[in-house]
Amino acid sequence: MKNLTTAFSMVWGNFTVLPCPYKRWDSKLNNLMLALLPLVGAVIGGLWLLLVEGLELAISGFPHSASMTHLISLAAAFYIYAVCGFMHMDGFMDCNDAILSRRPLEDRQRILKDSTVGAFAVVTVVFLVLAFYVSMDSLLEQALRTCPRLLWGLFLLPVMSRGTAAMGVLVHRPIGHSQYNKSFGEQGKQKYIGMVLLLMVAAVLAAAYFAGPFWWVCLTDGALVLLAGCIAMERARRNLGGMSGDIAGYTICWSELAGVLVLAVLAGLSG
């Protein structure tokens, strides 16, 4: 139990900017920390859902409140990147700089570690934010008006995206400079992989239950988020010669963009 508490404190403090009430660290628990990443995703997703519904309630008494959806969408889009200190966006930018350079592998790995921001990073992150905001705005315009239970999909997205990234780090061999090299060879990793899968399945079932008649939306979105994350991860891993924290962030960003886009499309079909 102590190991679980310490590992949860590690994943909370390392991957979010939320105040951590219990600060502990044990580098021997790195793999257990990764296994609990979907659990932190559930916390992030729950707060995301509360943020959107709280803002909707706050502006409901104002005239022309429907036009305020854009502001809620902005806050929702900002939150999902800010809650992790823009860490995953940083990985997304680094990977795009390296992959899109189309240089030899050694150069791509050097670019991945380079702290300088390149043109490819800037261009791709602009399109990421624009696409995410437009998708979120489309989703909220439909969901807040006709089917608010669809918003349970927001709870699910951070769980699935982080679960996919955690699985990638646990399963695939790291790049030589990756921080996960020391823990990759640990015996008995199957139990950690099992924990990740269990948490992801539990989140899908919970979201589907609370979504009521829109349970199928959560199931569909969860599956497509997983698929999008796996495709993005595999592309980055093959281009960069292994797995790393940056690739995990790249995976999370692509997964969540795919998830909110699918939710927006399904909300339109449901309405």
| Residues pairing with 243 in the sheet | 174
- For the chain, what is the mean pLDDT? 89
Q: Is 17 inside any structural domain?
A: no
Q: Is 119 inside any structural domain?
A: yes
* Residues recorded for the chain: 271
Tally of domains within the chain: 1
| Residues pairing with 174 in the sheet | 243
Tokens of 85: 């200190």
Tokens of 206: 């919970």
Q: Is 150 inside any structural domain?
A: yes
Q: Is 19 inside any structural domain?
A: no
Q: Is 3 inside any structural domain?
A: no
Q: Is 13 inside any structural domain?
A: no
Q: Is 61 inside any structural domain?
A: yes
Q: Decide: residue 106, CB within 10 A, 0-12 exposed, 13-18 middle, 19+ buried.
A: exposed
Helix, strand or coil for residue 243? strand
Q: What pLDDT, in 10s, does the model give residues 211-246?
A: 988 899 999 999 999 999 999 999 999 999 999 999
pTM of the model: 0.93
Print the domain residue range for 145: 38-270
Residue 56 has pLDDT above 70, yes or no: yes
Q: What pLDDT, in 10s, does the model give residues 124-165?
A: 999 999 999 999 999 998 888 778 888 999 999 999 999 999
Q: Is 153 inside any structural domain?
A: yes
CA-closest candidate to residue 15, choices 80, 85, 82: 85
Please indicate whether residue 23 or residue 106 has the higher confidence score (pLDDT): 106
